[in-house]
């Protein structure tokens, strides 16, 4: 049967997408040339060949280097529009996208250049495709608490256009507890809170994200499966997990797509969703991720529908908007 057509036609929300991770090598070259920025690659093929990672840090080093070509509001808008065009083609009707302001402010690009450019791209996607979106500001966890607080202060003029805060970058050695106070401050401003936890870090980091950061959604969360009591807690609490299958395989956190635990998560009662994380680096957009787990794990249409439905239930859309998407 036409499983690919079924997946493409199913409305879905993307809840775990780093916009800087959607920078395709072709656009990287175009922006490098437009901005007169040197990049350490001779061709698009050479860039793609460099995308072999054995862990999260391997990837992060090359991902932060790639972001160096992003200089102007127009660059950020073009990046976002390119992502939304591909997402719309995959049947995405709503996306909640991450950006890493510190990756840009640390190289002299003001917060507003990234924010204004991305917001312009989001408006364009809604006009062009009817694709709605929300913006989530991620703190880089390898940097310190003061730097995160400075970033939250810089965000103030845009705060009504930012849905929430997140936590990403190098997980092990940078537990959620390091950012308890800044997440408290964000919560007091009415922002939603999400955090990457249990991607490479232990189940204890997931517990910290719940107890100390008061997260509304858990990014990745795979290693929760090592702790049955934690699984029960996440399932009973209706916590959404934003799982990224191709990312898990590319970063060697899962041996192959054929042993990915996505269906086990569903059977355990977890509200799991399928997302692309950094599609330009991990070999596929959200449709590729759905197709990969559908084939690799032999998912039936019922499981695929559950995953898509979970993506809207786990979104930060109001209940009436969720109902309109389902």
Annotated binding-site residues for substrate read 278
Please report whether residue 90 would count as binding ligand HPA according to CB under 6 A.
no
In the annotation, is 199 catalytic? yes
Residue 166, SS3 per DSSP: strand
Regarding 208 and contact with ligand HPA (CB under 6 A), the answer is no
Q: How near is the Cβ of 18 to Zn ion at its closest, in Å?
A: 5
Q: How far is CA 102 from CA 80, 131, 219, in A?
A: 18, 27, 19
C-alpha separations of 22 from 6, 63, 206, 227, 266 in Å:
24, 10, 26, 32, 27
Query: Contact between 14 and ligand HPA (CB under 6 A)?
Result: no
Q: Could you give the angle at the alpha carbon of 310 between the alpha carbons of 253 and 316, nearest 5°?
A: 100
Judged by beta carbon distances under 5 to 8 A according to partner kind, the member of ligand HPA, Zn ion, none in contact with residue 199 is: ligand HPA
Q: How far apart are CA 173 and CA 113, in angstroms?
A: 31
3-state secondary structure of 139: strand
Per-residue mark of binding to ligand HPA, 267-286 (x: CB under 6 A)? ----------xx--------
Q: Helix/strand/coil (H, E, C) string of 210-240?
A: HHCCCCCEEEECHHHHHCHHHHHHHHHCCCE
Residue 87 CB, shortest distance to Zn ion, in Å, is 16
24 touching ligand HPA, by CB under 6 A: no
Residue 174 binds ligand HPA (CB under 6 A): no
Q: Is 14 in the site for Zn ion (CB under 5 A)?
A: no
Binding positions for Zn(2+): 16, 18, 196, 277
How far apart, in whole angstroms, are the C-alpha atoms of residue 223 and residue 160? 34
If you compute the radius of gyration of the chain from its CA atoms, what whole number of angstroms results? 18
| From 73, 96, 171, 199, active-site residue | 199
All residues at 6 or more sequence positions from 209 whose CB lies less than 8 Å from its CB, including other chains: 167, 176, 195, 197, 215, 218
Residue 289 found at the interface with ligand HPA (CB under 6 A): no
**In terms of CB distance, is 73 or 262 closer to Zn ion?**
262
Closest by Cα among 9, 83, 13 to 315: 13
Using CB under 6 A as the binding rule, whether residue 247 contacts ligand HPA is answered as yes
Q: Which of 277, 280, 289, 291 is the binder for Zn ion (CB under 5 A)?
A: 277
User: Shortest approach of ligand HPA to residue 301 CB, angstroms?
Assistant: 28
Which residue lies nearer to Zn ion by CB, 78 or 171?
A: 171
Measured from each CB, the residue nearest to ligand HPA is 168
Question: Which of ligand HPA, Zn ion, none does 169 bind, CB closer than 5 to 8 A by kind?
Answer: ligand HPA
Cα–Cα–Cα angle for 66, 71, 73, rounded to 5 degrees: 125
What is the bridge-based pairing of β-strands 164-168 and 192-197? Answer: parallel
Closer to ligand HPA by Cβ: residue 93 or 103 = 103
Q: Least separation, in Å, of the C-beta of 297 and ligand HPA?
A: 21
Near ligand HPA in 186-205, by CB under 6 A: 196, 199
Residues that bind Zn ion (CB under 5 A): 277
Residues that bind ligand HPA (CB under 6 A): 18, 21, 56, 63, 168-169, 196, 199, 247, 277-278
What residues are annotated to the active site?
199
């Amino acid at each position: 049967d036409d499983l690919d057509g079924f997946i493409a036609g199913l409305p879905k929300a993307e809840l775990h997408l780093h916009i800087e991770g959607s920078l395709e090598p072709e656009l990287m070259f175009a922006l490098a040339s437009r901005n007169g920025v040197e990049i350490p690659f001779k061709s698009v093929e050479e860039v793609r060949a460099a995308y072999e990672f054995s862990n999260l840090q391997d990837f992060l080093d090359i991902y932060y280097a790639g972001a160096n070509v992003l200089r102007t509001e127009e660059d950020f808008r073009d990046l976002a529009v390119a992502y939304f065009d591909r997402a719309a083609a995959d049947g995405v009707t709503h996306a909640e996208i991450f950006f890493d302001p510190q990756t840009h402010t640390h190289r002299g690009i003001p917060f507003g250049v990234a924010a204004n450019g991305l917001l312009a791209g989001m408006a364009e996607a809604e006009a062009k495709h009817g694709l709605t979106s929300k913006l989530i500001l991620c703190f880089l966890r390898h940097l310190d608490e003061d730097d995160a607080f400075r970033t939250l202060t810089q965000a103030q003029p845009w705060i009504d256009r930012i849905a929430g805060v997140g936590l990403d970058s190098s997980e092990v050695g940078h537990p959620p507890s390091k950012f308890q106070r800044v997440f408290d401050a964000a919560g007091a401003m009415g922002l939603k809170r999400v955090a990457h936890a249990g991607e490479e870090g232990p189940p204890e980091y997931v517990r910290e994200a719940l107890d100390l950061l008061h997260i509304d959604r858990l990014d990745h969360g795979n290693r929760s499966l090592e702790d049955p009591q934690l699984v029960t807690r996440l399932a009973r609490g209706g916590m959404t997990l934003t799982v990224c299958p191709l990312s898990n395989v590319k970063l060697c956190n899962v041996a192959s797509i054929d042993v990915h635990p996505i269906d086990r998560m569903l059977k355990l009662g977890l509200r799991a969703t399928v997302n692309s994380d950094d599609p330009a680096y991990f070999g596929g957009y959200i449709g590729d991720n759905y197709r990969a787990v559908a084939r690799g794990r032999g998912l039936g249409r019922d499981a695929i529908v559950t995953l898509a439905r979970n993506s809207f239930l786990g979104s930060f859309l109001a209940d009436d908007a969720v109902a309109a998407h389902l």
